Amino acid sequence: MSKIVGAGSLIVDITAYAKHFPVEGESALGSSVKIGPGGKGSNQMTAAFKAGADVRIIGKVGDDFLSHVLLDHYKSTGMSTKYIDIVKGEETAAALIEVNEETAQNRIIVVKAVNELVKREDVLKAEADFADCDAVLTQLETSMESILCCKEFAKKYGKPFILNTAPFQKIPNELILDTDYVTPNETEAEFFTGVHIKTQEDAEKAAEKFIEMGAKNVVITLGSKGAFYSNGKEKIMVPSIKVQAVDTTGAGDAFNGGFATAIASGADIKTALRFANCTAALSVTKKGTSPAMPYKDEICAFYEKTYAEKLKFN
């Protein structure tokens, strides 16, 4: 079994479903509310774990009632909490999510709270797991120093470093430089490169910009269009898979978790992209984020049905 390590956000999702998004000043009637585990870091690691990887997430929760939503999730799922700290007197992070039931699209407000307290010293405690892992997976919902420390360990021990540039924000140039895989969506790619993406050609231009910034490989997720990959020489477009979408919240996290699992398992890039594509497609057929992440057997069966070939990694 491959192992994936990284600092990541732990957030409780409070999701309301309604027939339409309210306009400013409107109180729209919803159909249901769900409270469950989320956060980009937690979602991605949950996706990777369910997809077949052993994971070690470095993060924090507060000592309030919301923390139990996350801790109970890890316990029931079987995920390690070795590097998850409970911080006294602090609030657990939360995300307020609106889901349009007609389109399955979402709007999100994230309160990072205790995630800001994930520091370099927390990452340092996990050095032994970085040393024997197969990939390092990060995003931008914890402190920059924790993310940079993850990259340091990835380089020190020769592990693939995967950076999901979400949520987009200003970052130091050194974070992109020499990064093995950068995985923005089209909005994030536009923020970092200035290229407005509507077509595959636009995605190619944005990928070129990332490579000029020093990234080794670029994967731009394009929502319903699929995902585009480039390393400056090879270019691959993986179309999206048509499914009955119920909730697209967390689809990008599912993609990254699936992609990291495939890369950690030694898959070639085309297989990794397809595996990630299947993971994301299955995730949107259920409500929620972490609870909606599919398990490996389900992904494998869907992969083989979709692409009419056996997976090339275990």
CA distance 22 to 24: 7
- Please tell me the distance from the alpha carbon of residue 7 to that of residue 247, in angstroms, as a whole number: 26
Report d(CA 222, CA 184) in Å as an integer: 9
**Active site residue ranges:** 253
Which DSSP helix (H) or strand (E) runs through 59? Answer: strand 54-62
Q: Does residue 246 sit in helix, strand or coil? A: coil
Sign of CA dihedral 273, 48, 314, 154: positive
Structure tokens at 296: 């490996």
* Inter-CA distances, 32 with 16, 17, 102, 129, 265, Å: 6, 5, 14, 40, 39
Q: How does 169-179 read in b/e, with b if 16+ C-beta sit within 10 Å?
A: eeeeeebbeeb
Asked whether 168 and 187 are in contact (CB, 8 A), the reply is: yes
